[in-house]
Amino acid sequence: MFIHPWDAAISPAEWQQWLAGTDRFGILAVNNADPAHAPIMVPTHFTMAGDEILVHLARPNPVWRHLEAAPEVRLAVVGDYAYIPTYWRAKAGGPDEDGVPTSYYSSVQFVCTPTIVDDPQEKADILMAQLGDFQPEGKHAEVAPEAAPYGRMLSGLRCVRLAVVGVDAKFKYDDHNPVDHRIRVSDHLDARNRGLDHGAAREQRRRLAAIGEWRPNR
């Protein structure tokens, strides 16, 4: 992922806080075991657990033989995205139609080493961690091998521990442009109110408050 200096995360805490506020749903990219064919892309929820990412997938998923052969994989998350039209980005005094369109978005990508988990108790532990992440209010039975209602289902899935070895984080919200430009675009996004426009406007304002006028050697 190409990252301009002005699009980079201010600190690891920035992408961590952004990710904590998302649904933690991404695309797991795995090299095809046959290099003549395209990579395998698996959409999935995931749970952060320190320096690991926890995932579970159905046993019939065709990714497994590719995952078993992959020394590294990538998990990509994208959110708060919006198309920014030409006439929102025209230079002051110039024709609106001469503006250059762009996309706004937040993205975090993890490079990981995978470990496939088949032990029933370890799978149960991973599923309990994911339930605690996505369903903190509880209201679910315990996941335990040989115990109803979930124990008999464990054989139908496999889990993956992804040890994080690298993180790329990007927040693309025109931070190199003047403050008044960014304020104007945020207002346009809220007024348009389509798709994830409000999220993109919120992220742009957050970055503006943190960065202000962009300085290359800030």
pLDDT of 217: 67
pLDDT of 94: 57
pLDDT digits 0-9 by tens, 52-100: 999 999 999 999 999 999 999 999 999 999 999 999 988 755 565 678 8
The stretch 11-35 carries a mean pLDDT of 96
The stretch 106-132 carries a mean pLDDT of 97
Three-state SS sequence of the chain? CCCCHHHECCCHHHHHHHHHCCCCEEEEEECCCCCCCCCEEEEEECEEECCEEEEEEECCCCCHHHHHHCCCEEEEEEEEEEEECHHHCCCCCCCHHHCCCEEEEEEEEEEEEEEEECCHHHHHHHHHHHHHHHCCCCCCCCCCCCCCCCHHHHHHEEEEEEEEEEEEEEEECCCCCCHHHHHHHHHHHHHHCCCCHHHHHHHHHHHHHHHCCCCCCC
